[in-house]
Structure 1
Amino acid sequence: MTNRPRVVMVANRDSFFLSHRSPLARGARDAGMEVVVAAGDTGGGRAIQQAGFEFVPLPVTRGALNPLSEARTFAFLLQLYRRQQPLLIHHSTVQPVIYGSVAARLVCDAAVVNTISGLGYVFTSDHRAAKALRPLLKRLWRMALSHPRSRTIFQNPDDRADFTRMGLVHQDVSVVIRGSGVDCAAFLVAPEPAGVPVVVLPARMLWDKGVREFVEAAHLLRAAGREARFVLVGAPDTGNREAIPVERLDAWTREGPVEWWGHRRDMAAVLAGASVVVLPTYGEGLPKVLVEAGAAGRPIVATDVRGCREVVRPGVNGLLVPARDSTALARAIERLLQSPELRARLGRAGRLLAETEFAESVVVRQTLAVYRQLLDGRWPAVEGR
């Protein structure tokens, strides 16, 4: 421990912190803060410690609601905040936002920042269980986001408008910061590889990422004689209700319309080897993989839904299609497959947008400005950096 101002960053998984919050943690440390990370431990805790941050494993269960598990998570956050007495807490993902915000009110005087990364399963799914949970979740959101010294960060204006309309948060204590940023230096722009074009869908293997529509589009394009490889890149995420069974993914590979490569750590290489990057999702906060595709200089096909609209400028860096429409998806992919010149032009524009609007430095600067606003000049070691 040090005498520097302390910020605790909380997420449901260590992997989420490493992929989405580590640049912000470094920025906070460079601004004079001591950073403590609390997250579900899936094997990434050592990497967090090696990056120079204290890591606290968070007991959290994803998937089906278990009252005892939820109570354990809440009790742990109470103890953590009582022990750490941070000056600021930044929650990401649903359980930390809800339980952490309430815990903070009870045991410490910390300022609270909550990042909302999309509406989530309960608000976007048509399943009966999801609809039944909505009234309860609305009450919990309202309680969590009413912390008297807090700011709520949304990743797109649609989510902010919906939360405001439902009375879950006041607009004057919320802000839109688009995404988590991308390290453009990690994605070098290279010429598209020669040979058969590769069309990639990089995402967690969830039904609501539009994987079914991608497979159907691949079927349509193969039937039309279009030569291309259609590749799924990502793990199923078994803790998510929308997870696609591994057996189904393996069957698609055997049947031939697509290839499933599983989880890949070398996403820069995957994107460099792609001709087109596709995300037919039903809704997002702000999909980082589309920003990474732009940084790699690759054209995008995505659905015209919240989050994707923030990244894709139609005809500039990509194409937008209606959600749940495999025929429209196939037509958009086909348009790009037919024109290497169009792919190159969209890719160049995507790289420029990544550098100017979605770079890590931009997002970190905007988020630290929220921190400083909440700290209100009371800690010059932070404010003066």
Structure 2
Amino acid sequence: MKILVLANFGMGLYKFRKELLEELIKQSNDVYISFPHDEYVFKLKSLGCEYLESNVDRRGTNPVTDMALILTYIKIIRRIKPDVVLTYTIKPNVYGGIACRITKTPYLTNITGLGTSIENKGLMQKVALGLYRIGLKESRCVFFQNEPNKQFFTKKKVVKRRTRLIPGSGVNLKHHVLEEYPNNTETIKFLFIGRIMKAKGIDELLKAAKIVKEKYLNVQFDLIGFIEEDYTEQLKEYEKNGVVNYHGPQNDVHKFIRKAHATILPSYHEGTANVLLESASSGRPVLASKVTGCIETFDEGISGFGFKVKSVDSLVEAIIRFINLPDDKKKAIGIAGRKKMEKEFDRCIVINAYIEELNSLKEN
């Protein structure tokens, strides 16, 4: 088969879907990928993928730009004539879906999360849902990464055809192996991995870190990720005052997970939080918002702790609760997380689901 994959950036494809791409190529499929040119193009081409550029403005709302994206997708589809198109994230899902409908090309859609435009009720939500209805109407299968997202789209009559629930993007258990728990108890290290933006709970995290640091001198907060919104000066101030350590974006987050005692994610919404899956797979307890996409990744009090979303007080309470645990209990929570990943979130589950759907297309 000729398979075209549409995404909004290369990092997501390489870090979370590389194994799927490798399996598709291994099965003698021709795999084409399309997203804005970045440093991951070379890495994905080295797997055997063929690259075609498309300009996706991830956060833009310009209808002219979006119309140009549809035309780009149509041009790409007509050029390579794929047997099926796989789409990820909102704009490739919507505009890729529209392009597939126009060209009468089968496509499979992956809802990686609702996104801010849908989470924030009002006109933007109505517009986003309307676009989704158009883009997903002929999708042969819509993959959802958690049950609440699936129920929401069904209730809103966005999807009417086949749907399938998968455990997020899954986690590569061989790459994120169970690591020995840090024996350094003099400094307890908390790790945040994610885009530096309001929707990831960065405001609450910075405030909570300041409160905790005033009470516990032996605590360290490490932050990793791209600055998506204007937090540059604020981060510099918090670093200067010794509240957090900001390490910028990192290609290899595993080395930071290995040194951490726990991972924190105060996100407002997620599809399924990959950073929590990778941390748990490595044997690290997770502290996360009690929101869809996070709560599925841990068992409360067994492999992690939840806290109220957008609540600094609740976040502080969860952090202090973890700090005061005995060392052997912290380690046991991490091991429980690894077991949960092995049982429920192995990336092979996701790969097999895609292969089954592709095989079904071949038969039809």
Q: Which stretch has the larger CA shift, 94-103 or 191-200? A: 191-200
Moved segments of 4+, more than 3 Å: none
Q: Deviation of residue 43 (structure 1)? A: 2.4
Secondary structure, aligned partner of 1:320: strand
Equivalent residues, number: 361
The one-letter amino acid paired with 2:132 is W
Of all paired residues, the percent bearing the same amino acid is: 24
1:123 aligns with 2:118: yes
Contact kept? 1:336, 1:342, Cα under 8 Å:
no
Partner of 2:131: 140
Secondary structure, aligned partner of 1:221: helix
1:165 aligns with 2:150: no
In 2, Cα distance between equivalents of 1:190 and 1:156: 30
Partner of 2:297: 311
For residues 343-358 of structure 1, the aligned pairs below 5 Å read 343-358=330-345
The gaps in structure 2 that reach 5 residues or longer are none
1:68 aligns with 2:59: no
Partner of 2:247: 261
Query: For each residue in 1:255-293, what CA deviation from the matched residue of structure 2 results, as whole angstroms up to 9, or x when unmatched?
Result: 222111111122111000000111011110001000000
Equivalent residue for 1:39, pick from 12, 26, 35 = 35
1:186 aligns with 2:172: no
Secondary structure, aligned partner of 1:333: helix
Q: Which stretch has the larger CA shift, 350-359 or 186-195? A: 186-195
Equivalent residue for 1:338, pick from 324, 330, 333 = 324
In 2, Cα distance between equivalents of 1:64 and 1:102: 18
Q: Which stretch has the larger CA shift, 98-107 or 13-22? A: 13-22
Q: Deviation of residue 244 (structure 1)? A: 3.9
In 1, Cα distance between equivalents of 2:342 and 2:263: 18
In 1, Cα distance between equivalents of 2:94 and 2:222: 36
Contact kept? 1:116, 1:152, Cα under 8 Å:
yes
Q: Deviation of residue 193 (structure 1)? A: 4.1
1:96 aligns with 2:82: no
Q: Report the TM-score, using the length of structure 2 for normalisation.
A: 0.95
Q: Deviation of residue 20 (structure 1)? A: 2.1
In 1, Cα distance between equivalents of 2:153 and 2:117: 14
Contact kept? 1:77, 1:100, Cα under 8 Å:
yes
Q: Report the TM-score, using the length of structure 1 for normalisation.
A: 0.90
In 2, Cα distance between equivalents of 1:341 and 1:139: 51
Q: Deviation of residue 125 (structure 1)? A: 3.1
1:213 aligns with 2:204: yes
Query: For each residue in 1:86-131, what CA deviation from the matched residue of structure 2 results, as whole angstroms up to 9, or x when unmatched?
Result: 11110001111111111111124x32111011111111236xxxx3
Contact kept? 2:108, 2:141, Cα under 8 Å:
yes
In 1, Cα distance between equivalents of 2:241 and 2:199: 22
In 1, Cα distance between equivalents of 2:232 and 2:249: 12
In 2, Cα distance between equivalents of 1:22 and 1:55: 14
For residues 50-89 of structure 1, the aligned pairs below 5 Å read 50-89=46-85
Q: Which stretch has the larger CA shift, 270-279 or 322-331? A: 322-331
Contact kept? 1:300, 1:319, Cα under 8 Å:
yes
Contact kept? 1:101, 1:145, Cα under 8 Å:
yes
Contact kept? 1:316, 1:349, Cα under 8 Å:
yes
Partner of 2:163: 174
In 2, Cα distance between equivalents of 1:306 and 1:26: 30
The one-letter amino acid paired with 2:156 is M
Contact kept? 1:271, 1:293, Cα under 8 Å:
yes
Secondary structure, aligned partner of 2:363: coil
Q: Deviation of residue 234 (structure 1)? A: 0.9
Q: Deviation of residue 55 (structure 1)? A: 0.8
Partner of 1:251: 237
Secondary structure, aligned partner of 1:266: coil
Larger RCO, structures 1/2 (Cα 8 Å, 6+ apart): 1
Q: CA RMSD in A?
A: 1.5
Contact kept? 2:119, 2:125, Cα under 8 Å:
no
Query: For each residue in 1:50-81, what CA deviation from the matched residue of structure 2 results, as whole angstroms up to 9, or x when unmatched?
Result: 11110111122232322232122111100111
Query: For each residue in 1:114-168, what CA deviation from the matched residue of structure 2 results, as whole angstroms up to 9, or x when unmatched?
Result: 1011111111236xxxx33222222211111111x51111100010111111111
Partner of 2:351: 364
